[in-house]
Amino acid sequence: MVPLLRPHPLPQSPPVHIGHLSGVAAFLMWGLLPIYWKQLEAVPSLQLVAHRVIWSFVLLAVILLVTKSWWQVKDIVRDRRSAGALAAAAVFLAINWGIYVYSVASNQVVEASLGYFINPLVSVALGVLLIKERLRRMQWVAVAIAAVAVLELTWAYGQLPLIGLGLAFSFGTYGLIKKMVGAKALPALTIETGSLLPLALVYLITAELVGSASFATTGWGIGVLLILLGPVTTLPLLAFGAAATRIPLSTLGLMQYFTPSFIFIVGIVFFGEQMTPSRWFGFGLIWVGLVIFSIDALRAARSGRASAIAVAEPD
């Protein structure tokens, strides 16, 4: 009897990479944050940072309790090197939060967006120089165009963008540390906010004692918005943490152009900020770089899929 031939299963298309989806979600949420911050402009910037730390930690603690995942935090804490690195990352994260909140409160959203345009270049440079990541030829082209765009936007702004540079280097360093530690997003963020928690509590308690706290003096509406800083802060950071440990830092850096693009749109549509022709030109260059990068990523994905099919086919 001739044995029946079993058809070779057709290779399935690879699923969409969760790291890329997480990155897009994080940068979209960050891009819309100025609308939220504008509702809290009556609250001092340092108090906003403290509230972000406290309510984020509370939310993370609840998630860990529900999912019974505190053991993941304990495992990281046992590694003093990883725990110390995450504590250092938390410092850069807090600096970034403070600068960003101040930029919105002082009506400097355009410069904030410029900072997040510069930020991906910082991430790409750190990835290439310190982690020895390699870029494909078209990725280099995209980076070069983005660099020209950043120079154009800086020239259009007319002065040294201290807010932009502060945002770029603080978050670029934060991303680098997250990449090097490689810990899971949820326990890592819990350790980061936990390391800042004592300082945040001391600051807010002191503000309460001297009568300058905003939580109980600005009405229940502001109080609710301050409490909601937990999910507003945590969700994009968890998404960013998931992306940072799954995709190359260079790719993550280029994806971060989504955030300043949305911030630009928010600044124009919601805050009525004026855009000069020079700024529009720089903004257009950014999108040209994004298109080139996207085309290159699609080609690389198709090439990988073709290689997978070739391997799966029988001789």
pLDDT tens string 153-186: 888 877 777 888 899 889 888 988 888 888 887 8
Q: Smallest Cα–Cα separation from 73: which of 192, 177, 179?
A: 192
Q: How far is CA 41 from CA 104, 257, 270, in A?
A: 8, 26, 15
* Cβ contact 54:199 at 8 Å: no
> For residue 152, what pLDDT is reported?
84
Residue carrying structure tokens 């989806």 = 21
pLDDT at 156: 80
Write down the pLDDT at residue 159: 73
Which region holds residue 3: left if phi is over 0, alpha if psi is between -120 and 50, else beta?
beta
The pLDDT of residue 94: 92
Between the alpha carbon of residue 263 and those of residues 37, 98, 224, the distances in Å are: 12, 17, 24
At residue 216, the pLDDT reads 60
pTM assigned to the model: 0.76
The conformation of residue 79, written as its DSSP 8-state character, comes to S
Provide DSSP, 204-266.
HHHHHHTT--STTTS-HHHHHHHHTHHHHHHHHHHHHHHHHTTS-HHHHHHHTTHHHHHHHHH
C-alpha dist (Å) from residue 1 to 4, 5, 156, 191? 9, 12, 81, 65
| pLDDT of amino acid 14 | 40
pLDDT digits over 37-51, tens only? Answer: 888 888 888 888 999
Identify the segments of the chain with pLDDT beneath 70.
1-16, 213-219, 249-250, 253-254, 298, 301, 304-315
Q: What is the gyration radius of the CA atoms in the chain, in angstroms?
A: 22
DSSP label at residue 201: H
> According to the model, what pLDDT value does residue 280 have?
84
